[in-house]
Each structure stands twice: as C-alpha cells, then as structure tokens.
DNA sequence: CATGAATGAGTCTTCATTCAT
DNA sequence: GATGAATGAAGACTCATTCAT
C-alpha cells in the first residue's frame, strides 16, 4: 500500500521515529492497524520498505544525472555529479535526516546501505571510464572516498542550511567540486564556473 | 557514578539504544534502579553524560595531536591530524557508532554536537595560522568541509574495517591526506610518505 | 466501558484511592490495562468519569424529588428535600465517602464540584419561587448555607449509621427539617410529622 | 522534633499530600531521612502527629472561647462560639484543607476524628448547662447536628473566601448564629447584632 | 480482505524505608 | 544519634502485535 508508506513518511518526519507508532501510522493512512499488518509483517519491514522507496527515487535521479554526464569534461562532470547529490538530498531532507539520525540499523534495515552500494558501483564505473584523465592508484578506495565525502558534505549542507539560496548552493557545489578535482586530477587547477 | 556510565556504554553497544532500559543498565552496573536515578534525573541525562565523557576523551587526543603539529610542514601536519582523527575514532568505535546512528538528537542530547563545534574551532584556528600557505577563500567554509570530510571518512573506515592492519590504516591516512592537501594547496603535489 | 467504571468503584471502595492501581482496576474489570487506556486517557480521567456517573445518578434523584415538591407546603417541601438528600447519599455511601475524603481535587477532578453547583441552582430556584413565605435577606447566602448544611449532616449521618433503621432515619430527617425551617421561617414553629 | 512537623506542614500545603515525600520533608526540615525515621516510625505516623498538633492548637482556642462564654446570654454565646469556630479554621486554612481533602483516613489517622469527639463533648456540656433555655429533645443528636453544621459551614466559608473582609466574616457569623438559634430556641427571634 | 478492540510485556520513574558508617 | 546512599517493589502508561468478527 503506497498510502501506508506516505503515512509512514509523514508520521516519521513529523513525530520522529520513537513516537511513530504503527497505530498512528495506520490511522494517518486512513486504514486500520490490521490492514497495515496485512501488507507488512512488522514495523521494521514497514520502515525498511519506506527506506527502499526513498532510495529508489534518489537512485533514479543519480542515474539520470550520470547519463548526461558522459559527454562532459571531467570538471563539468564532477560538478554535475555533486549537483546531482545535492538534488538527491533535497528529495525529502526531513525524511533523510530521520533515516540518518534516528532509525536503528539492524535486521532488515541493513538494507539502508543498499543505496550506498549502488551509488558506489555507479561512480566506480564512471571513474573507470575516465581512468586516463585521473591519477588514482586504487579505484575502489578512490570511489569509496569520493562517495563518502560527497554524501557527508551534502548531507551536512542540506541539514544545516535547509533553505539555502541558489547562490549558496552554487558556492557549495563549487567548493566540493574543487575538493574532488584536487583529489582526482591534482595537476590541473580546478576551474570554478564563471 | 563512573560504574553507571561504563554499564551504559556496555549495554548501549551490546543491545542498542532501544533495548537499553534503565533497569538493565542499573543491573549491569551492579546497582539498583533507584541508585541510577539518584545520580541521573532520567535516561536522557544518563546517555548525555556518557556522550560528554566520550567526547572529553576524544578531545583530549585531538588537542594533544594539534599541539605536536605546530612545528611540522603542512603536509606532515595534515597527515598527523588525519591520524589523530583515526585514533579518536578507535577510542570506542562501537559506542561511537551507536551515538552516530541510534541516539535521538533532542533535548540535552543536542550536546552530542558540542564535540563537532570544538573540533571546528580547533581546526579553524590551525588553518588561520597557516593562512599564507593555503589557498582558501572562506575560512569557515573550508574548515567545515574539512571537518565533515575527515570525520565521515574516518567514521566509515573504522566502521567497515574495525580490525584493519597498520598497513591498511596508513594507506587510508595517505589517501585522506592527499584529498585534504589537494584542497588546501592545489599547486603542490602531495608527497606520499616513503 | 461500564464494566471499567464498576471495577473502579469496587476497587476504590475496597482498597481506597491510593491502593487503586490501574492494573488492579483493569484486572478486576476482567480486561487488560491496555483496554483501560483505550477508553480513558489516564487514571484521573477514569476516576473523573466515575464521579460524573455517580453524580448523574444522584442528580436524577434530586430532580425527581424537587418536581414532586412543588405542590407541598413549605414544611412538607423541606422535609421531602431532606429525605431526598438522604436517599441520594444512600446510592453508594462507601463510594461517596471515598470521593469526599480521599480523591484529590485537581485537574479534571474539579468536576466533583459540578454536583454541588447544580444542587445549588436547583435549591436556589426553589427558594426563589417561595420567596414570600420565607424570611431571608440574601438568596445566594441562604442557599449556600442550606446546601452545605444538609449535605454535611446527611453525609455524617450516612457515614456514622450506615444501617440505621427507618425510625432513626425519620427522626434524623425531622431534626434537620426543624433546623432548616427555623432558619427559613423563624416565626412559625416547625410542625413535626404525626 | 518540632522542626519536622513544621516541615511536614510546609511541604503538605505547598505540594499536596501525594507529592510530599519523606525525603523532601526531611530536607526541608534540614535533617536527613534517617533522622526523620528516628522520631517517627513511618510517614503515616508523621502526618498523624502533625494532625494531632494542629488539633491541639485548635482545641486550645475552642476551650478558651467556651470559658468566656459562660456568662453571656444564649444568643451572644452562640455567636461567640461560631466566631471561635471561624478563628479555629483560620489557624492554618491551607493545612486544614489538605487534611480534609487529601489525607487518607486509615490506620492511625483515624485520630483525625479525635478533635471532633472532643469538640462534641465541649459543646454538649455547654448545652446541658443551658438546657432550660433551649428546646431540644435529644441532647446528643442536637450536639451532633450543631457541631457538624458549624464545622461544615465554617470550613466552606474559609475555603471559598480565604481573604474575606471583616464585614463579610461578621455577616457570615450572623447568618450561622441565626441558623443555630432558630434550632435551639425556635420561639425567640434571633437578634442580629447592631 | 478489512477492522479495531484487546492484549500484556516492558518502559521509565518514584518513594518509603533500611542500615552501614 | 545522625547520616544519606542504596534499595526495589510498585505504579502509570505505551505500543507492536493478534485475532474474532
């Protein structure tokens, strides 16, 4: 039931994980608790499904962004990817924050990391294609560092400045791009966009 | 009571935040619930005290590391700081993970961020002292990016490879150092240690 | 749930307010604590509901008695009202005593006084209708004195002689009636019933 | 320890019976809980002792008032006694209210009624002395009615108008006196004071 | 299939009382 | 005698989960 996931997201962001009871979620969804348990075996599975949906939406964005990136030069490509990361975090920042800060990682919820793995592979294959242009020893290590770094910076940016102006956002993207390019292609100076 | 904080840490890392009841903590500490409430007004305060103690320990390390760094050149200094970050995360990785992933940020527990603020100031004043050697526009932004990046990378490294060999660790530190130096001093090539 | 109120009354009268735990009440009612909290948000609300029900029953009696009183002369009317007060106190004397002596007056339980207010108005309007026959300066004061006096005397009578014979009861009613009439109509001598 | 009783009174009136813990009482008294239990075997005994002390103070007033009453005529005597009742209730109205409304009547606290019994005897012996002037069938019944009535009316007056002006108080005393005289001496009209 | 009343284990917290120092 | 840390039974209340209708 899509409505149940919507309700879960609503309750989660409005009340926090601890105060989000299955009864409240069901009533917000306009169904009975019983129905909730017809579709999800327990609360954890419900939250896990919501996480999965959220991640699917974000991955959609990421894939689209990476497609359009193939034709750009490295600097532009990196900037586009960072921008995509920011966009991804803006899908539902409040929900994202709840996932990051309050949802216990255990059992089925280990799946939260699915997104990271998939992102890892996407970025890794991009870097592999550009291998000649970049100076990297170990592809896996580099990918992991990039993914973690961009994710952390973006997360922190969105959390701390939820209503940043476009100017702020562009400046942020510039800085992160510079950081990444300095790592990937240390000999060229990153060219900030005009 | 120090024993209560120890017990809290034990229960927290073994059972997770949600399963850590005050009664269980008290019994692990070898005292009665009543005694627990004689020293801490409620569960939140108990966890907050543990967080504070943990942070104090980590800040101790960080301050010591920064002291020894004053005489080094930029590259060596950055590497030393990254190494300090790793050491800090090795104080009690499991506990650190619980704090990062499960403890709800509210009320007194907002104090969790005290550590971040302190670290921010420490790093910022270091960068300020070296301003001539680095190419940075905005000090605050740069500091924030560095702190977030190093924290995220270190956290992820310690979580994923809790028993990494010294070799792994050194390689990790090298990479992160390269990332940082590429950002702070884009014109020089980072010199990986021999 | 009517059963819950019955159980509350039972436990309250048998054990007293302090020993009446919600768990005990629920188990006496033959349901689980959870069910209790499905119908009443907290202990206070439960007791308040019981008080309300008790008062409703008593007010029913009082209204009926006052209706039949309209056609009687003053002396007979007063005696009928006193008798009604006694009857009201006999609805559930033990429970009434708990309400009077042990239930803390706070929050929603301020409603305990609803009954007093209603009674006040009932009596006041009766006195107003008979104003010519009685010698009273201030209607509100007189009403308040009468209501308080009759309530206190009746309460004390029922508490101290829970199983008084009809004879005792009639003699008590005579005395109280004499007291009231002496106050309302000092010039006539109260005529004790044959 | 007198200080303990004072502290009990303070805590009782400030916080109510339920929130008055022995620890708080002890700390307000400036001693340790242990000391409290050196003087009183349990909480109930402590409260009972406070009740006893309060009652002793009130009885003092009542006895003094009755002494001075011997020489007055009936009307003046009754008014003096009513006034004494009001004075008694003004000794510590807040504490009196707590006793009346919140302190559970059980065990040693049945002693609360000691005051009523003693008052009963005092009034009864006064009425007996004046038997010729009053028209009463049964002395015990009359005494009981008078004591209950005056107590209830005074209590209610003090509770509802804790800061009544002297004028209000005199008018109240007049009315109660009229009520009593109408009962004791139905043939004479009560003479309100000039 | 849907419902939602019922369940009851488990949570945090309080407080009268004890007893080693 | 005084102290006050320690005790732990008990209480109010929550919520994931079940199941008869």
- Contact residues for D171 (Cβ-Cβ < 8 A; gap 6+): C141
**How many angstroms separate the CA atoms of B88 and C68, rounded?**
87
Q: What is the CATH number of the domain that holds A27?
A: 1.10.10.60
The predicted-structure confidence for A83-113, as pLDDT tens digits, reads as follows 999 999 999 999 998 888 888 776 666 666 6
D186/C186 CB distance under 8 A? yes
What is the pLDDT confidence band of residue B76, given thresholds at 50, 70 and 90?
A: very high
B141 contacts in A (CB within 8 Å)? 171-172, 175
- State chain D's mean pLDDT as an integer: 88
Report if residue C47 sits inside a domain.
Answer: no
Q: For an interface test with D, which of C98, C143, C144, C161 has the most D Cβ atoms less than 10 Å from its Cβ? A: C144
Count how many domains chain D has: 2
Chains linked to A by 3 or more Cβ pairs within 8 Å = B
Report if residue D56 sits inside a domain.
Answer: yes
Query: Do B18 and B109 fall into the same domain?
Result: no
Query: Do D48 and D18 fall into the same domain?
Result: no
Query: Do D65 and D139 fall into the same domain?
Result: yes
Query: Do A123 and A64 fall into the same domain?
Result: yes
Tens-digit pLDDT string for chain C (194 aa): 899 999 999 999 998 888 899 999 999 999 999 999 999 999 999 999 999 999 999 988 888 888 888 888 899 999 999 999 999 999 999 999 888 888 877 666 666 677 888 889 989 999 999 988 898 889 999 999 999 999 999 999 998 887 888 899 999 999 999 999 999 986 554 445 44
- Nearest alpha-carbon partner for D46 in D96, D94, D90, D2: D2
What is the pLDDT confidence band of residue B50, given thresholds at 50, 70 and 90?
A: very high
Query: Do D111 and D85 fall into the same domain?
Result: yes
pLDDT for res B21: 95
**How many angstroms separate the CA atoms of D93 and C21, rounded?**
31
When CB atoms are compared, the residue of A101, A149, A189 closest to B105 is A101
Report if residue D128 sits inside a domain.
Answer: yes
Report if residue C190 sits inside a domain.
Answer: no
Q: How far from D50 is each of B91, D3, D88, D100, CA to CA, in Å?
A: 57, 11, 16, 13
Mean pLDDT of all residues in D90-104:
88
The predicted-structure confidence for D1-22, as pLDDT tens digits, reads as follows 899 999 999 999 998 888 899 9
Task: Kindly tell me if the per-residue pLDDT of D189 is higher than 60.
Answer: no
Q: Nearest chain D residue to C144 by CA: give it.
A: D153
Report if residue D189 sits inside a domain.
Answer: no
Query: Do C87 and C161 fall into the same domain?
Result: yes
Report if residue C192 sits inside a domain.
Answer: no
Chain B nearest-CA distance from A18, in A, is: 9
What is the pLDDT confidence band of residue A68, given thresholds at 50, 70 and 90?
A: confident
Outline where C40-194 has alpha helix (H). 43-69, 74-89, 93-101, 112-129, 139-160, 166-184
Domain of B25? 1-40
Task: Kindly tell me if the per-residue pLDDT of A190 is higher than 60.
Answer: no
B149/A152 CB distance under 8 A? yes
Q: Nearest chain A residue to B99 by CA: give it.
A: A101
Going by beta carbons, is chain C in contact with chain D, meaning 3 or more pairs sit under 8 Å apart?
yes
CB-CB contact of C64 with C73 (8 Å): no
Query: Do A79 and A158 fall into the same domain?
Result: yes
C148/D151 CB distance under 8 A? no
Query: Do A27 and A59 fall into the same domain?
Result: no
CA C11 to C1' F7, whole Å: 29
Name the residue closest to the C1' of E12 by its CA. Answer: B22
Q: Which residue has the higher pLDDT, B124 or B115?
A: B124
Footprint of strand F on the protein (CB under 7 A): A 18-23, 33-34, 37, 42-44; B 1, 31-35, 37-39; C 19-24, 33-34, 37, 41-44; D 23, 31-35, 37-38
Nearest nucleotide by C1' position to the D20 CA atom: E15
Report if residue A138 sits inside a domain.
Answer: yes
Query: Do D66 and D155 fall into the same domain?
Result: yes
The 3-class secondary structure across A73-139, one letter per residue, is: CHHHHHHHHHHHHHHHHCCCHHHHHHHHHCCCCCHHHHHHHHHHHHHHHHHHHHHHHCHHHCCCCCH
When CB atoms are compared, the residue of C106, C153, C182 closest to D182 is C182
CA C55 to C1' F21, whole Å: 36
Report if residue D31 sits inside a domain.
Answer: yes
Query: Do A142 and A74 fall into the same domain?
Result: yes
Name the residue closest to the C1' of E5 by its CA. Answer: C35
Query: Do D104 and D19 fall into the same domain?
Result: no
Task: Kindly tell me if the per-residue pLDDT of D92 is higher than 60.
Answer: yes
pLDDT for res B190: 46
Q: What is the CATH number of the domain that holds A120?
A: 1.10.357
pLDDT for res B187: 59
Residue D114: strand, helix, or coil: helix
Query: Do A121 and A168 fall into the same domain?
Result: yes
CA A178 to C1' E14, whole Å: 58
Most confident of A99-103, B188-192, D149-153, D162-166: D149-153
Chain F positions within 7 A of any protein Cβ atom are 1-20
Q: How far from B143 is each of A92, A177, B116, D92, D186, CA to CA, in Å?
A: 27, 16, 11, 66, 96
């Amino acid at each position: 039931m899509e409505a149940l996931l919507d309700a879960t997201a609503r309750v989660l962001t409005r009340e926090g994980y601890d105060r989000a009871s299955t009864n409240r979620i069901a009533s917000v969804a306009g169904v009975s608790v019983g129905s909730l348990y017809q579709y999800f075996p327990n609360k954890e599975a419900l939250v896990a499904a919501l996480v999965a949906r959220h991640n699917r939406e974000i991955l959609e964005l990421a894939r689209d962004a990476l497609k359009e990136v193939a034709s750009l030069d490295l600097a532009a490509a990196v900037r586009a990817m960072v921008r995509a990361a920011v966009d991804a975090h803006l899908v539902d920042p409040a929900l994202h924050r709840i996932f990051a800060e309050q949802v216990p990682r255990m059992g089925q919820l280990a799946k939260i990391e699915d997104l990271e793995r998939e992102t890892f592979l996407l970025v890794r294959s991009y870097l592999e294609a550009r291998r000649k242009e970049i100076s990297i020893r170990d592809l896996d290590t580099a990918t992991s560092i990039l993914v973690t770094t961009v994710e952390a910076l973006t997360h922190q940016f969105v959390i701390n400045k939820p209503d940043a102006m476009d100017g702020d956002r562009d400046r942020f993207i510039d800085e992160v791009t510079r950081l990444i390019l300095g790592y990937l292609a240390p000999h060229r100076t990153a060219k900030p966009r005009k």
